Amino acid sequence: MFRLNHFKTESGRPYPIGATPDKNGVNFSIYSQNATGISLHFYNAFGYETNVFQLTEKTDDVWHIYVAGAKAGQRYAYRVDGPWDPENGMRFNKNKLLLDPTAKLLTHSVEIHKSQFAYKMGDENLDLSFSKTDSAPFTPKCIVVDVEKLRNDVIQNSPDIAWEDTVIYEMHLRGFSKLNTQLSKSEQGRFLGLSAKKSVRYLKSLGITSVELLPIAAHTNPLFLKEKGLSNYWGYDPVCFMAPEPAYMYRKNLGQIQTMVRLLHDVGIEVIFDVVYNHTGEGNEMGPSLSLKGIDNLTYYRLSPENKRYYMNDTGCGNMLNFDSSATLALVLNSMRYWKEMFDIDGFRFDLATTLARVGDKGVYSKDAPFFEALSKDNILKDTKLIAEPWDIGWGGYQRGNFPTRFAEWNDRFRDACRRFWKGDFGQVRDLFTEFAAVQYDEKIYYQDAWRRINFLTAHDGFTAYDLVSYNEKHNQMNGEENRDGNSANWSWNSGVEGQTKDKKILDLRFKRLKAMLATLLLSNGTPMLLAGDERLNTQYGNNNAYAQDNVVGWLDWNHMGPYARKMQSFVQSVLTMRKETPFFAEDTWVCLQDRNGIPLDANHLSEGMRDFAFVCQTLGETYFIIMNASDKPVQYRLKKGISYQCLLDTAEESVFVGKDIQVAPWSFTVLLEE
């Protein structure tokens, strides 16, 4: 052990919680209601411990100390002592080095090691046993960050896109640029890659308004994945909510994130962070102790009322955070404020958002939950976009349509209806019509809050769009779970051949079907979300659960499908231009289904045998006629007498006017404008 530095200490102050430098030193504070002792440990750049400080001052369950002479860049972590009583929810073990929950920067990624488990792995008493192994050599260190410098450097230039104009582009930061050979090695797969001029120009030219980044916070890489030669690619197992994943940075420079946001803002593109506040990467009772579990397990996690040894698990990820706790609530809100204030982030998408609003011993969802109440009163976050994944796996977990009105919500019903209709399934017309037009089943009106529907065809979780038309079944063998993982209900059709093919007829059919599907998404009434790479026919080779594929399976392939990809990109650009210039669903829109003879139809009395439908849409003095045909045969529709029509869109480019009728091609989406 090296002790090279000598510091003077003072009692310090409890707030703000975290490591806060000033011109004379650094104030350290950390919350723990049930700990009996906490020590602060300093490390040098070589990983050697240089100093240990006992925190003896405690105010409102916040332990604090001021270290004079310390400064930004100092590496540190904590050890927390207290009862080892797992059956009563307490898992204190001072042999485990713990990360500051409010850390802004880590020395390196979190690779799980057996020393980080607070119990003896392999012991017959399982998690009731006690480990005396020191985890320090295998645990990253936190780095003190000068937050005031970040505050001074940030440029507030949010484009402030109205919800009604928003088009979201969901992307994995690393996967988006990792294979882009037009970028340098230092840019590929990092924040620098997204802020590169070529990336910014590409996104702007596409016509999207907002990028939604999969989790960028530091996350764990579990042992079971490492043993398979895989890694936690998606990053949905966070360990520090405010620290970016070190692998996404070049030389640990937080300014890279500020620059990325600023450059995207400069061209009118918002930045939305996908945040995981429902659980952490510490897992259940058999998981590692990295931060919250060792700091105050009983406070931060929702434990079983019957036996606090075990965790409630409505997330399916081993644990769930306790939002009845003011400490948990403060940690989450402070992290949101940090990203907003220091990086000018425009919004947040909440993974498994139902969990954030579970209250009481039984963890029941409530619209009056403390999290919602706190958000409604927060001045810093008042103008941010909020998006809910409105479900978790617990009882009463599906809450679509039941979040506060400020939230937009992922619309899985649009996803399923769109996929099933364009797969060619019968009986899908009513569902797709009501989801596409955002009408109620029994009224020919659109929802006033249609923007709250985040309509999507694909997302990170599932097939890519190209795989929807290329695979009947999931092919997840590379995940090492014998293809058991991932959803088997994909509502996909391979167009005649499973997987990759050179058959031009099959490729043309896939291209035609996918154009119709993407037009349905991008012109829908609501907020469309496009998965990065779908406009380039990106494939995951049939893997619909690429959470552990930090390789060519999970990365965006910029060269896949050559000419077809370039044509699809151009098509998506044109449809997004059309959406912007031709709003079908503006204020006072009226829509009405019609049969092939032009007679109005009741959405509740549609034939189960229909695979095509049409409807009239009147808005802003214009009348549109929209036809979708998911059959393998052309279909003829009667047009109004004495009215001429302009064809604004024909995804198949094969539709023809026949006298008073229009004949639309198989697998086509057609839009006509009355002149």
> Per this entry, what is the length of the chain?
675
What percentage of the chain exceeds 70 in pLDDT?
98
Whole-number Å distance between alpha carbons of 240 and 102: 7
* Other C-beta atoms lying within 10 Å of the C-beta of residue 295: 28
Q: Are 645 and 600 in contact (CB under 8 A)?
A: no
**For tokens 């985040």, what's the residue?**
454
Whole-number Å distance between alpha carbons of 622 and 618: 6
C-alpha atoms less than 13 angstroms from C-alpha of 168 in its C-beta half-sphere: 35
Q: Does residue 326 sit in the same domain as residue 407? A: yes
Tell me which of 552, 581, 610 is where a domain ends. Answer: 581
Reduced to 3 states (helix: H, G, I; strand: E, B; else coil), residue 25 is strand
Q: Does residue 547 sit in the same domain as residue 610? A: no
Structure confidence at residue 447 (pLDDT)? 46
Whole-number Å distance between alpha carbons of 528 and 495: 25
Whole-number Å distance between alpha carbons of 41 and 426: 65
Q: Does residue 525 sit in the same domain as residue 656? A: no
Q: Are 70 and 26 in contact (CB under 8 A)?
A: yes
Contacts of 386 (CB under 8 A, 6+ apart): 347, 348, 350, 375, 406, 407, 408
Residue 311 lies in a domain: no
Tell me which of 561, 581, 601 is where a domain ends. Answer: 581
Q: Which amino acid is at 507?
A: L
Whole-number Å distance between alpha carbons of 472 and 491: 8
**Vertex 476, ends 474 and 482: CA angle to 5°?**
115
Q: Which amino acid is at 531?
A: L
Tokens linked to 17 = 């919680």
Tokens linked to 618 = 């009147």
Q: Does residue 190 sit in the same domain as residue 210? A: yes
Q: Does residue 17 sit in the same domain as residue 93? A: yes
Written as one string, the DSSP assignment of 532-569 is: TTGGGT---TT-S-GGG-TTTTTS--TTTTHHHHHHHH
Reduced to 3 states (helix: H, G, I; strand: E, B; else coil), residue 185 is coil
Domain around 612: 590-674
Residue 118 lies in a domain: yes
pLDDT, tens digit (0-9, with 9 covering 90-100), for 425-483: 999 999 999 999 998 754 443 446 899 999 999 999 999 999 999 999 999 999 999 99
Structure confidence at residue 609 (pLDDT)? 85
pLDDT, tens digit (0-9, with 9 covering 90-100), for 378-401: 999 999 999 999 999 999 999 999
pLDDT, tens digit (0-9, with 9 covering 90-100), for 623-650: 999 999 999 999 999 999 989 999 999 9
Contacts of 287 (CB under 8 A, 6+ apart): 117, 281, 293, 318, 319
* pLDDT of residue 196 exceeding 70: yes
DSSP state, residue 609: T
pLDDT, tens digit (0-9, with 9 covering 90-100), for 573-588: 999 999 999 888 876 7
Average pLDDT along the chain: 95
DSSP bridge pairs for 446: 439
Residue 291 lies in a domain: no
Q: Does residue 605 sit in the same domain as residue 573? A: no
Question: Cα separations (Å) of 480 from 486, 539, 545?
Answer: 12, 19, 11
Strand order in the sheet with 661-664: 635-638, 661-664, 656-658
Q: What average pLDDT score do residues 597-623 get?
A: 88
Structure confidence at residue 608 (pLDDT)? 81
Structure confidence at residue 612 (pLDDT)? 95
Q: Are 673 and 622 in contact (CB under 8 A)?
A: yes
Whole-number Å distance between alpha carbons of 377 and 237: 28
Strand order in the sheet with 142-143: 49-55, 37-43, 75-81, 142-143
pLDDT band at 1 (very low <50, low <70, confident <90, very high): very low
Whole-number Å distance between alpha carbons of 333 and 98: 21
Residue 293 lies in a domain: no
Residue 299 lies in a domain: no
Whole-number Å distance between alpha carbons of 349 and 546: 20
Q: Identify the CATH number of the domain in which residue 118 sits.
A: 2.60.40.10
Whole-number Å distance between alpha carbons of 53 and 40: 5
How many structural domains are present in the chain?
Answer: 3
* pLDDT of residue 559 exceeding 80: yes
What is the H or E stretch that residue 369 is in?
none
* pLDDT of residue 668 exceeding 50: yes
Reduced to 3 states (helix: H, G, I; strand: E, B; else coil), residue 624 is strand
Q: Does residue 474 sit in the same domain as residue 577? A: yes
pLDDT, tens digit (0-9, with 9 covering 90-100), for 353-385: 999 999 999 999 999 999 999 999 999 999 999
Q: What average pLDDT score do residues 502-510 get?
A: 97
Structure confidence at residue 4 (pLDDT)? 58
Structure confidence at residue 586 (pLDDT)? 75
Q: Identify the CATH number of the domain in which residue 388 sits.
A: 3.20.20.80
Q: Are 637 and 661 in contact (CB under 8 A)?
A: yes
- Asked whether the CA dihedral 444, 448, 453, 454 is positive or negative, the reply is positive
Tokens linked to 542 = 């049939």
Q: Are 90 and 298 in contact (CB under 8 A)?
A: yes
Q: Does residue 109 sit in the same domain as residue 188? A: no
pLDDT band at 170 (very low <50, low <70, confident <90, very high): very high
Tokens linked to 134 = 């020191």
* Other C-beta atoms lying within 10 Å of the C-beta of residue 660: 13
Structure confidence at residue 444 (pLDDT)? 40
Tell me which of 149, 171, 191 is where a domain ends. Answer: 149
Residue 505 lies in a domain: yes
Whole-number Å distance between alpha carbons of 137 and 49: 10
pLDDT, tens digit (0-9, with 9 covering 90-100), for 280-295: 999 999 999 999 999 9
Whole-number Å distance between alpha carbons of 499 and 475: 10
Residue 124 lies in a domain: yes
Q: Does residue 378 sit in the same domain as residue 250? A: yes
Phi, psi of 226 (to 5 degrees): -60, -40
Question: Cα separations (Å) of 68 from 8, 12, 27, 55, 463?
Answer: 5, 10, 8, 14, 54
Q: Does residue 453 sit in the same domain as residue 547? A: yes
Structure confidence at residue 660 (pLDDT)? 87
The closest of 125, 266, 146, 155 to 203, measured between CA atoms, is 266
What are the residue numbers of the active site?
Answer: 351, 389
Q: Are 389 and 351 in contact (CB under 8 A)?
A: yes
Q: Does residue 347 sit in the same domain as residue 432? A: yes
Residue 261 lies in a domain: yes
* pLDDT of residue 166 exceeding 90: yes
Structure confidence at residue 448 (pLDDT)? 60
Q: Does residue 198 sit in the same domain as residue 331? A: yes
pLDDT, tens digit (0-9, with 9 covering 90-100), for 125-137: 999 999 999 999 9
* Other C-beta atoms lying within 10 Å of the C-beta of residue 107: 16
User: What pTM does this model have?
Assistant: 0.97
Structure confidence at residue 446 (pLDDT)? 42
pLDDT band at 3 (very low <50, low <70, confident <90, very high): low
Give the burial class of 426: count Cβ atoms within 10 A of its Cβ; 0-12 exposed, 13-18 middle, 19 or more buried. Answer: middle
Q: What is the per-residue burial (b if ≥16 Cβ within 10 Å, else e) of 225-260?
A: beeeebbbbbbbbbbbbbbbbbbbbeeeebebbbbb
32-46, 227-241, 601-615, range with the lowest pLDDT: 601-615
Q: Identify the CATH number of the domain in which residue 599 sits.
A: 2.60.40.1180
**For tokens 């090691």, what's the residue?**
113
Distance of CA 376 to the CA centre of its chain: 22
